[in-house]
Structure 1
């Protein structure tokens, strides 16, 4: 896929920060090295030395002094490496995305941590949506999403949903004004982005069926669109057999998935993560920098 065609001018122009490049070098350096390059404060002056957390099951989690120093220090924009690695393993275990084994250029699955899923939503929109763009959006939808996208000056095209989620026929009808063979032509106004909350949609609580997901994905392939899969309620499904995600069927590397720990761990921790093709996740990381 040509990911450049999806980027806004601002996102396309982002370049790596020199300071952040130095951080990457420091991550692999000796623990005895004292770097004066990145402005990191001396960890010995941090006010917290250690901590103990009592869990619901009665067990205790300890943060010793070395761990506490690391937790309080600057880290990589993508997220603490061990956390990113664990989250990638989680995504492979739960979704088994076909793109996990792809090359970076082909859209290899990648991931970055965000300050809650809402930050991820805002940054994804800012990466992909320019003033005047046509953006497909399942309706009704989350008010926070509308607040994030309206300032970008795009045209929202509503796609009807019912008790079984987004209606593929309604999506097909919304796209019918464009010829799939012409979506790559310069000046084409065809939508490049589809936003959806597939599980427990806010505010309806509706979940889309697996068959409908397949139909929606095929339409996204036909019109070469990205699917923004905003899925904060994935982990609170009542059925024992969880619904397959768009990420799990993403053979092209066209799904950007937003996950959150707010509903199952703590909303106050503000931990979200964005999974998607590496070329786009890399642009998100540049924005986080």
Structure 2
């Protein structure tokens, strides 16, 4: 498993979906289910799991509910986490965890996609200060 830093779990989900899903692909969304059953189905039917559990670290009772990532034995799960719900809503920082090939691809994609996203903000600030 590998990890990369993202600007919140929504960005992580967006990038993973953008890299893996094509128009017309079937996407399954679940409500509350049994993680072990979902992991077994992914193994049996050869599909990937994208897990988003932004409130995982806010569990107060032990034992904590197992995540799909913790049950992953064959690199089928990619998980997004955020620190916004724990530390500060404006922090907008999170992390993506998953199989090395996917995380490496995400890091390369993010490098291309995020390279100049704040340049217009910096330019506007400089123009404002200069009058």
Same-fold call, TM cutoff 0.5: yes
Structure 2 Cα separation of the partners of residues 272 and 227 of structure 1:
18
5 Å matches for 1:137-216?
137-138=29-30, 161=31, 165-166=32-33, 212-216=34-38
SS at match of 1:135: coil
Matched, 1:229 2:51: yes
Matched, 1:123 2:15: yes
SS at match of 1:113: strand
Partner residue of 1:262 out of 84, 87, 90: 84
5 Å matches for 1:42-57?
none
Q: By how many angstroms is 1:240 displaced? A: 2.4
5 Å matches for 1:9-158?
109-138=1-30
Matched, 1:281 2:103: yes
Partner residue of 1:247 out of 63, 69, 78: 69
Q: Where does residue 122 of structure 2 map in the other structure?
A: none
Structure 1 Cα separation of the partners of residues 10 and 89 of structure 2:
11
Normalized against structure 2, the TM-score is what? 0.81
Q: By how many angstroms is 1:286 displaced? A: 1.0
| Structure 2 unmatched runs, 5+ | 112-131
Q: May I ask how many residue pairs the two structures share in their alignment? A: 111
In angstroms, what is the RMSD of aligned CA positions? 1.0
Q: By how many angstroms is 1:237 displaced? A: 1.3
SS at match of 1:118: helix
Q: By how many angstroms is 1:247 displaced? A: 1.1
Structure 1 Cα separation of the partners of residues 28 and 4 of structure 2:
25
SS at match of 1:133: coil
Per-residue Cα deviation, 1:125-167 (whole angstroms, up to 9, x for no partner): 00110011111112xxxxxxxxxxxxxxxxxxxxxx4xxx13x
